[in-house]
A and B are shown apart, each in its own frame.
Chain A
Amino acid sequence: MNRREYLKCMASLIALSSAAIPGLAIAMGPEDKFTIAQLKYKGAFNTRPTALRRLTLEVEKRTSISTGPKIPRLSATQKSLYQYPLLFWSGDQAFDSLPQKATQALRDFLLSGGMLVVDASDGVVDGPFVQSIRRELTAVFPNRKLSSIPSDHVLYKSFFLVDKPVGRLAISKELEGIFDEDRLVLILSQNDMLGAWAKDNFGSWTFNCEPKGDKQREMSYRLGINIVMYALCTNYKSDQVHVPFILKRRKWKVD
């Protein structure tokens, strides 16, 4: 750098400092960091209060994604929902039907780019919560049905190579989903993923994972990170450039 360039640079910094700038930060600001929102509804919506923050912390630790500290809890009709395109819906019991306004808002949110992950904490396959969810989903998407997410879907390889979906429990062997064209807009898990991620204030796991303990918990985290990665990168890992690598690691034959 010559003298003229140096002076120019210094002048620019002085000028910028003199502008009305409240502060300089090392990132674009907390608002612009990745955050997961939690759906608030009439009923026990916050069954695993610490789980989502734990997940975002793991995401921050293990991936290049920069995450925010907050987990906003928002109702379906709140306009700010659109600031958080990844939304978790959890519960452990049946709940009353959502108002029509709320189902309409959820549909608009999901079709405009949002993604919803439903996690049942009750530990029962097709329990009361899931039945309520299925009822609501027919209202949100009358013409789309939940279907099994195939095991070769990019969700299972968006970051970790995951063989099967597990959470605190492993009672359901598959995830279900609703697609908008090729994009998953909704994922339904019945294995209590949030239960596997939750910690108490002392840093201890809130629940034990069954039947495989901490190994299962790790696999559940990996699935959670994959869900986040899928939300942010969609089918990136199904791009042709990745396919040979992934097949090789899965020890599948490459033609």
Chain B
Amino acid sequence: MSTYNSGDLLWLGDWGSLWILFLLILGAFVFAISYYDLRILSKRKCWTLVGLRIWVYLLAVLFLLEPAIDLKNTSKVKNQVAVLIDSSISMDLPSEAGSKTSRLSLAKSGLKALNIPPNKTDDEHVYSFFHFDKESELLPNTDALQAIGPKTDLAGVLEDIKKGFSQKDLGGIIILSDGIMNGDMGSRTRRGETLDAATKSTLERFQAPINTMVSGDPASLRDLAIVNLARDDFAFVHNKVSIEVSIQAVGIKDRDLKLMLSRDGKEVQTRLLKIRKGKSIYKLRFEFVPQKIGKEVYSIDLPHLENEALYENNHAQFLQKIIRDKIRALQVVGRPSWDERFLRRHLKQNPNVDLISFFILRTNQNIRVAGNDELSLIPFPTDELFQDELGSFDLVIFQNFNFGPYDMRRYLSEISKFVKEGGGFVMIGGDLSFSKGGYANTAIADILPVELSDDSDAIDFRPFKPQLTDAGTRHPITTLAFDPTANRELWKQLPDQRGTNIVLKAKEGASVLAVHPTLSYGGEKMPVITIGEAEEGRVMALTTDSTWRWGIERVGDGGTSREYQLFWNNAFRWLIKDPELKLIRIENQKEEFDVGSATKIAVRLSKPDYTPLTNQQITLSVEFKPFDKQTKDPVKLYTRQIRTDGGGIGETMLKMEKAGIYTIFAESKTDGGVLKDRDVIIALGSVNEYRDILPRPKFLKQVASASGGRFTRLGKDTPSVNLLPSKSIQVNRRRVIHLWDTPWSFLLIIALLASEWMLRRRWGRL
């Protein structure tokens, strides 16, 4: 029995309370009958016999109730205590100015000061050690812990702890941290603010005190840091982009500093930062207008001051995705014509096109019968169009336009440069276009996908129907019907073109989509619709000036203007590199990654009809360039050969070991030519942890207060924690002894019955 330290009486009989009540009433009735029957006997004899009968009855009832003794050996169940040590990279910083003790070392010392037994168990609690950053992990050896985590997400970690201890009694949590939290909880409560309602509610729901110990003192630190960049994930080209930079300056005397925004290592803008006493947070705004679609890597830099706690946070990088809001097209026309009118009308009706037109309505050859004040003519703004504003356009259309009379030769190289830097250009035929417009041997001839004749009268005026080439059958510009055969038939039904400019042949690398049925050069039919690329830009050469007839004559033939609209829509989308029309596309899940993370790079390949191009080899290479301005040339990381699957997608992994710019190139040789794509992603090092490096004791104090825990400043206060006492009991051993189930109990009843029978007989009662 000494092994049991507690016991309980049990009733094992399966009798309801009504039955027990009935038996008691029955017993009382039996007692009354017996007393009545034996009342003639002396009082002693009467009560002796009644007593014996009551005992027998009570024993019988007791047997029915099956009494037993439940013996137990019990002990207290110890509450669980989670000890969380912040192992994010900010814990590697000095605990205070001039100190060589890191915040992590101070936290380790604080942990020792708690005097937790080596077996992590005391009378009331069992301690489990974790380190945490963006998630928590069991910590087998505190001494070996290093501060390398990229992010601190306290809310997520507490949620994990709650789930992990859901089957156990949690006596409390002890957090040792510098308080720099960049997950939900830390972001919701900014420095100096009180805890928000959601955080308070989360902490209260925990039902266990959270004791916090701050490692580090913000008072003595000296640091200049870019703590936040407020910006949109993407911007529209040619539209103002606004970036608000939040700067924290602590421990720095009054002075003026330069904040610089740069792109690709070149300064874009600067702002003056005036640091003044009594103010620690400053907000400055950069505004600029991106000129190109794509992804641009920007850097914001503050100068390095002496004795700063950290220099990494004086810099911030971000990748700005610049997309198109509208196609900005410049239509320059040498003379009004139906071709111009239908194209202008088509572009004007498209809400996604922002069209600037300029038409030459009168030339020097025209008779002037009215003064300028009686005309609505304006000067040809060549400087504005081809120098100042050229970069703001996505597409330039030269429609039957000759540059000669307008002293424009000097702008042709600007247009060529505009195209080579990514712009779109289309030259549409007419008696002022191609060689007839004097473009042979000019900068425009360099970018055109066709070779021009030096004969300035090279025009053929016979009507003709352009014939699609194989490439034209499949190319999105000339795909007016999905089925290639139907497409060819459709082109045959289009109204005739009335004449063509004569060009020699397509340049190498250009694609001829349609040819003249009879004109030829060197055995090859003369190209009518030709496309090509000039470095980053795209160019189309259309040697006729009567596509407008597809828009109206086709209606007269019983058709619609659909083909005209589709042709030009397709052409403009291709010229401006509409991403949806790219046959090869690098697809990344996001643009910005943490250093050390890995991402899957997917390359999607499509056939010209935009069905998946399967089992096709892709050469994928990655170049890396660090953010620093000293490194000019990127380093090639790898080149891999991958193959597309049934969905036309090839995949590979990229691990980003260092902070910087990763440029991905994909190339595939297909039947339709070499397809290329390029994408940029960046890896940012410790971006969250180093933005604001000041310890946040107030935040941790509020966390402790909201949950009923205690707050300690490590290195200054004696560590103190509030943990819930153990409430649960654990049964280690148990034994149930049945009191009625013995021969002695039956013998006792028999003995009592026998005694009653014997005494009753002796006392003269039968």
Chain A contact residues, CB within 8 Å of chain B:
1, 9, 12-13, 15-16, 19-32, 34, 61-66, 79-83, 85, 108-109, 112-114, 157-161, 183, 218, 222, 229, 231-237, 239, 241-242, 245-246, 249
A156 and B85 alpha carbons, distance in the complex (Å): 80
Evaluate contact between A113 and B561: CB separation under 8 angstroms. Answer: yes
A64 to B431, CA, bound (A): 12
Closest to A222 in B: B370
Say whether, besides A32-B546, A34-B337, A159-B375, A233 and B499 are in contact (CB < 8 Å).
no
Whether B555 contacts A108 by the Cβ 8 Å rule is yes
Does B361 contact A159, Cβ atoms closer than 8 Å? yes
- Distance between Cα atoms of A140 and B755 in the complex (Å): 131
**Closest chain B CB from A182 CB (angstroms):** 9
* Contact status A160-B430, CB under 8 Å: no
For chain B, residues 356 to 398, give those with C-beta under 8 angstroms from any C-beta of chain A.
Answer: 356-363, 366-370, 372-378, 381
* CB-based contact A82/B556 at 8 Å: yes
| Residue among B348, B374, B556 with most chain A CB within 10 A | B556
Q: Is the CB of A16 within 8 A of B553?
A: no
Cα separation A29 to B462 with both chains bound (whole Å)? 8
- In the bound complex, do residue B362 and residue A64 qualify as a contact, i.e. CB atoms below 8 Å apart? yes
B518 touches A20 (CB 8 A): yes
- Cβ B504 vs Cβ A1 within 8 A: no
CB-defined contacts of A160 to chain B, threshold 8 Å? 370, 374-376
Indicate whether A21 sits within 8 Å of B341 (C-beta atoms), given known contacts A64-B363, A245-B376.
no
A236 touches B553 (CB 8 A): no
Taking CB atoms, residues of chain B closer than 8 Å to A246 are 376
Apart from A19-B520, A27-B461, A32-B461: 8 A-B pairs, beta carbons within 8 A: A26-B457, A32-B499, A62-B369, A85-B552, A113-B555, A157-B376, A236-B357, A237-B376
Is B334 a contact of A29 with CB atoms below 8 Å?
no
Tell whether B90 is near chain A: CB-to-CB under 8 Å: no
Name the A residues within 8 Å of B342 (CB-CB).
Answer: 113
Contacting A at CB under 8 A, from B488-512, are: 498-502, 504
Instruction: Kindly list chain A residues whose C-beta atoms are within 8 Å of the C-beta of B521.
Output: 12, 15-16, 19
Q: Contact at B518–A19, with CB atoms within 8 Å?
A: yes
A158 to B377, CA, bound (A): 9
Q: Which 10 pairs of residues, A with B, have the shortest CB-CB distance?
A: A29-B461, A82-B556, A232-B336, A112-B555, A28-B499, A64-B335, A27-B431, A32-B498, A29-B499, A245-B378
A233 touches B344 (CB 8 A): yes
Return chain B residues, CB-CB under 8 Å to A245.
376, 378
A1, A112, A113, A249 — most chain B CB neighbours (10 Å): A113
Number of A-B contacts (CB under 8 A): 190
* Docked CA distance A158–B340 (Å): 15
How far is A66 from B455 in the complex, measured between Cα atoms in Å? 22
A234 to B347, CA, bound (A): 12
Contact A13 B345 (CB under 8 A): no
> Does any Cβ of A come within 8 Å of B453's Cβ?
yes
Decide if B367 touches A233 in the complex (CB within 8 Å). no
Closest partner residue, chain A, to B462 (CB atom): A22
Complex Cα distance, B362 from A80, in Å, reads 29
Chain A residue with minimal CB distance to B369?
Answer: A62
Q: How many angstroms between the C-alpha atoms of A41 and B462 in the bound complex?
A: 32
Take A25-B461, A242-B376, A245-B378 as given contacts and tell me if A234 and B555 are in contact as well, using a CB distance cutoff of 8 Å.
no
CA distance A135 to B370 in the complex (A): 39
Q: Please measure, in the bound complex, the distance between the C-alpha atom of A204 and the C-alpha atom of B358, giving whole angstroms.
A: 37
Q: Can you name the residue of chain B whose Cβ is closest to the Cβ of A83?
A: B553
Chain B 399-453 residues near chain A, CB threshold 8 A: 429-431, 441, 451, 453
Complex contacts, B429 vs chain A, CB 8 Å: 28
Given contacts A29-B499, A66-B431, A79-B556, contact A242 B378 (CB under 8 A): yes
Q: Is the CB of B366 within 8 A of A82?
A: no
A-B contacts, 29 of them at CB < 8 A, read A9-B453, A9-B454, A12-B451, A12-B504, A13-B454, A16-B458, A19-B519, A19-B520, A22-B462, A26-B457, A28-B461, A29-B499, A32-B337, A34-B337, A62-B362, A80-B556, A82-B556, A112-B561, A113-B345, A159-B376, A159-B377, A229-B336, A232-B336, A233-B336, A236-B359, A239-B357, A242-B378, A246-B376, A249-B374
User: Nearest chain A CB to B335's CB is how many angstroms away?
Assistant: 4
Give the shortest distance, in Å, between A228 (CB) and chain B (any CB).
8
Q: Which residues of chain B are within 8 angstroms of A22 by Cβ–Cβ distance?
A: 462
Choice from A16, A233, A237 contacting B519 with Cβ under 8 Å: A16
Inter-chain contact A81/B556, CB cutoff 8 Å: yes
Contact B336 A64 (CB under 8 A): yes
B584 interface residue per 8 A CB criterion: no
